[in-house]
Amino acid sequence: MDNTTRIEKIETELVRVKRINRGLFVLAAGALALLALGAANDQQQPTELRAKKFILEDASGKERGVFSTGEKGVELKLLGAEGKPQLVLYAEDTGPGLYLADLNGAERIGIRTRGTDAQVTVLDSAARQRLQMLVRNDQPSLALSDAAGRERITLKTDNTDPLVLITDTNGRLRLRLGMRDDFPNLTLSGSGGEPFWAAIPHKYKE
């Protein structure tokens, strides 16, 4: 190999090394730029996220949850596979509440508070209320309703005395069973609501 050939080979190698160095420089500069951008993003990351509505989707893109605000307040809604509400949690101006629905999206169990009152209701498949538990003015009550949604049996208690009320299909009180000062009393009424038999003893010795 003569000197001319050697020089040409060396020049070719130098050109290739320069290209490699230039590429390494570009890669290094790009890496530094990404690091700087990442650091800037970390410093600018918001500490708050504000929105009026969030939608949660499953892997297929189907809507499965909604967290939103509206005129009545804040609502968190979880949806079933068919897109119907299954659980709804809300906070309105009058008080918070929660209800569970069946697979058709119909409310079946509701829990609510209004002021100092607390209420639990259970509905049938036709959306008729069949059971209600209520605490009002710190006094509990339990009401059972028939297939038409009419309250038929009510159980109450005040600070000391319990009371059971049974009504007919017209809503008239037909049986009243209670306790007063640890003494039982019973009243039976006719179809017009008038009492026809009563056992309301005064204090007696057992």
Q: Each residue of 21-77: pLDDT tens digit? A: 565 555 555 656 666 666 555 555 667 878 888 888 888 888 999 998 877 789 999
Residue 173 lies in a domain: no
Quote the CA–CA distance of 34 and 123 in Å, as a whole number.
59
Residue 108 lies in a domain: yes
Residue 81 lies in a domain: yes
**3-state DSSP percent of the chain in helix, strand and coil, to 5:** 20, 45, 35
Residue 100 lies in a domain: yes
Residue 109 lies in a domain: yes
Count of structural domains within the chain: 1
Residue 57 lies in a domain: yes
Residue 27 lies in a domain: no
State which residues form the domain around 85: 51-113
Asked if the model's pLDDT at residue 7 lies above 60, the reply is: no
Residue 21 lies in a domain: no
Cβ partners under 8 Å of residue 69, min gap 6: 52, 53, 75
Instruction: Tell me 185's DSSP state.
Output: E
Considering only residues 50 and 152, tell me which one the structure prediction assigns the higher pLDDT: 152
Most confident of 20-34, 166-180, 191-205: 166-180
The CATH number of the domain where 86 resides is what?
3.90.930.1
Cβ partners under 8 Å of residue 162, min gap 6: 155, 156, 178, 179
User: CB atoms < 10 A from the CB of 202, how many?
Assistant: 6
